[in-house]
């Protein structure tokens, strides 16, 4: 670390609270496609993608051009004061992209948490009910309501209570550590069917406004439910008039191999939240879904000063154009296939890798002390990750036990960069004493 980095670190410690967490001690100077260059000129291979944001790659030329052009025209009028076409164009495109052949609308916000908040608000308004079901291992953001929906206490909720009321957490389909101690497929996906029992003990179905769930639990450990899981949940929701919300904030925009992960589960959510990769690095989020639900709140009940900012809309439209013109979905599928090969190879060599899982290029390895007991090994996970960081590979942990190594690399990462990244990962296992 040279003087520039250490000075910046000192000032960061002095002026920015530690709760605003950092994964590495690098400071960025520039970034392109699959790599970031830091202020010391070191090239970093980016397996984190700014936490699943730059799916089209860092500084994608179409995004940069759209942002610059829009900034020259106008940067802000507030959509509620003077409207602009980019907001409408994006809303229309999003309604065509999400699963489900029914009338849809879309509202734009700034962050994932805001989209989640508005999903729950709309569901409550439409249904006239108050209870919300979310899941153990779920993550939905850091605002009061989204934090309350989140199913992991440390660090997200510790000391921040009391939480928003009328939220009920249900076990998730964590097959590697089944909450019901069963095995798939003999279990007949009992964890999903259990929703009927959940109503008996936790919240009466007729008081439940909505159920919110991630197609792959992101922060929870890239937990990937079996293929029938969501259709069972959705059918039960339908039976009781409960609104089904898919939180696709981390899984969205091609991360799992399809534009939205629910396409692979053959489920049409009533509402979908999107953010992260939508803006190619610009802050924007969306709530998309059934018109009758989203159009229910009164005028003024939804929105915010910056929601659907014109520069972010322009960036998001450019992201969609890149997807259409540059086969990015296919690139993501290929990246996932190669990354999975690399992880499977590592799992063949290191018994501490208890599980390799994920969808598309949303992939992870769960680290355990041994495969029989499946005891989580967060210390080894930390060692592997910090060695990777030292050697210039940016990767991150997740999981309720902090023992899952995940990848959210730009879908456009080239083979050479990917191979270099996988090599560093292998060295990291080797040098950390992994067995
Ligand atoms: C599934 C999911 N929902 C919601 C959020 C919150 O998004 P934001 O950090 O933009 O508020 C995240 C962020 O990681 C997420 O992964």
Tokens representing 13 are 């410690």
Task: Please state the atom number of ligand 1 nearest to the C-alpha of residue 142.
Answer: 11
pLDDT score, position 40: 96
Measuring from each residue's beta carbon to the nearest atom of ligand 1, which residues come in under 6 Å? 51, 111-113, 116, 139-141, 214, 218-219, 247, 249-250, 275
Residue 403 is part of a domain; what is its CATH number? 3.90.1150.10
249 CA → ligand 1 middle, Å: 6
Q: Which of 278, 295, 325 is the last residue of a domain?
A: 325
pLDDT score, position 416: 98
- Decide if 318 contacts 280 (C-beta within 8 A): yes
Same domain, 25 and 75: no
Q: d(Cα 107, Cα 115) in Å, to the nearest integer?
A: 8
Ligand 1 binding pocket mutation candidate from 138, 249, 284 (most atoms within 8 A of CB): 249
In 330-433, which ranges are E strands?
Answer: 353-359, 362-367, 393-394, 396-398, 404-407
Same domain, 321 and 333: no
Q: How many CB atoms lie within 10 A of CB 282?
A: 21
Ligand 1 binding pocket mutation candidate from 214, 275, 364 (most atoms within 8 A of CB): 275
Same domain, 181 and 217: yes
Tokens representing 247 are 């939180």
Handedness of CA 345, 382, 223, 20 (dihedral sign): negative
Ligand 1 binding pocket mutation candidate from 21, 117, 138, 218 (most atoms within 8 A of CB): 218
Domain count, the chain: 2
Same domain, 10 and 68: no
Range of the domain at 379: 3-56+327-431
Same domain, 133 and 272: yes
Same domain, 76 and 189: yes
Q: Which of 325, 341, 366 is the last residue of a domain?
A: 325
Same domain, 380 and 274: no
pLDDT along the chain (435 residues), means of 10: 93 98 97 98 98 98 98 98 98 98 98 98 98 97 98 96 98 98 98 96 97 98 98 98 98 98 98 98 98 98 98 98 98 98 98 98 98 98 98 97 98 98 98 95
Same domain, 295 and 371: no
Q: d(Cα 37, Cα 28) in Å, to the nearest integer?
A: 6
pLDDT score, position 1: 76
Q: How many CB atoms lie within 10 A of CB 86?
A: 23
Same domain, 331 and 347: yes
Q: Which of 276, 296, 325 is the last residue of a domain?
A: 325
Same domain, 253 and 144: yes
pLDDT score, position 121: 98
pLDDT score, position 426: 98
Same domain, 40 and 81: no
Same domain, 206 and 256: yes
pLDDT score, position 68: 98
């Amino acid at each position: 670390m040279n003087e520039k980095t250490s000075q910046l670190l000192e000032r960061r410690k002095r002026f920015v609270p530690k709760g605003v967490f950092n994964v590495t001690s690098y400071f960025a100077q520039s970034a392109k496609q699959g790599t970031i260059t830091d202020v010391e000129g070191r090239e970093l291979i980016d397996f984190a993608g700014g936490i699943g944001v730059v799916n089209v790659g860092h500084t994608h030329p179409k995004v940069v051009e759209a942002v610059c052009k829009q900034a020259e025209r106008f940067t802000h009028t507030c959509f509620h004061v003077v409207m602009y076409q980019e907001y409408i164009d994006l809303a229309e495109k999003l309604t065509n992209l999400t699963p489900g052949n029914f009338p849809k609308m879309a509202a734009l916000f700034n962050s994932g948490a805001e989209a989640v908040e508005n999903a729950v608000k709309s569901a409550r308004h439409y249904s006239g009910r108050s209870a919300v079901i979310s899941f153990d291992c779920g993550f939905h953001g850091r605002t009061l309501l989204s934090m309350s929906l989140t199913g992991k206490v440390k660090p997200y909720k510790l000391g921040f209570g009391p939480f928003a009321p009328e939220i009920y957490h249900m076990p998730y389909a964590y097959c590697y550590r089944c909450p019901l101690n069963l095995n798939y497929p003999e279990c007949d996906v009992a964890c999903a069917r259990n929703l009927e029992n959940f109503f008996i003990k936790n919240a009466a179905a007729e008081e439940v406004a909505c159920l919110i769930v991630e197609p792959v639990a992101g922060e929870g450990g890239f937990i990937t439910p079996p293929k029938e899981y969501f259709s069972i949940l959705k059918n039960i929701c339908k039976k009781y008039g409960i609104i089904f919300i898919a939180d696709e904030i981390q899984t969205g925009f091609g991360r799992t191999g399809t534009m939205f992960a629910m396409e692979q589960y053959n489920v049409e959510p009533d509402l979908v939240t999107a953010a992260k990769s939508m803006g190619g690095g610009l802050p924007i989020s969306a709530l998309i879904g059934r018109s009758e639900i989203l159009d229910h709140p009164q005028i003024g009940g939804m929105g915010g000063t910056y929601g659907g900012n014109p520069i972010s809309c322009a960036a998001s439209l450019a992201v969609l154009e890149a997807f259409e013109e540059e086969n990015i979905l296919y690139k993501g599928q290929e990246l996932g296939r190669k990354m999975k090969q690399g992880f499977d190879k590592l799992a063949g060599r290191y018994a501490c890798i208890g599980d390799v899982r994920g969808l598309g290029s949303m992939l992870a390895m769960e680290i355990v002390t041994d495969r029989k007991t499946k005891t989580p090994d967060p210390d080894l996970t930390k060692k592997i990750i910090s060695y990777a960081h030292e050697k210039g590979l940016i990767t991150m942990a997740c999981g309720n036990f902090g023992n899952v190594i995940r990848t959210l690399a730009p879908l456009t990462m080239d083979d050479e960069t990917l191979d270099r990244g996988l090599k560093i990962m292998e060295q990291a296992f080797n040098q950390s004493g992994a067995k």
